Amino acid sequence: MDDESDQEIEVDSDGLRSIASCISELMENSMENPECHVCRLCDIRYKTGVISDAPKPLIGATQEQLVQHLTTEHADAWETLRRDV
Ligand SMILES: [Zn+2]
């Protein structure tokens, strides 16, 4: 179960973990529909009872829209992950 530990982390020109890498860490793609992104952080909130409604999947969202969700809803987690290189 340690397969991911030796993966190289992509770093962007600012020395931060790349946006694409952070997105793939925080967003889950549906197996049936690769256009359907489910936010893991919203899912955790839902499962731990922080929010009472199941998070809506982001269907057909662009990278920009995914980043916007993550930076507005989960700014702290996003920043932490970006620095985690
Ligand atoms: Zn979310």
Domain range annotation of the chain: 26-83
| pTM listed for this prediction | 0.84
Q: In this model, does residue 4 exceed pLDDT 60?
A: no
Q: In this model, does residue 62 exceed pLDDT 60?
A: yes
CA of 70 to the centre of ligand 1 (A): 6
Residue 3 is predicted with a pLDDT of 57
Residue 19 is predicted with a pLDDT of 96
* CB 16 within 8 Å of CB 83: yes
CA of 2 to the centre of ligand 1 (A): 26
Q: What is the pLDDT of residues 5-47, one digit of tens each?
A: 566 889 999 999 999 999 999 999 888 898 999 999 999 999 9
| Ligand 1 ion: Cβ-proximal residues, 5 Å cutoff | 39, 41-42, 73
CA of 83 to the centre of ligand 1 (A): 19
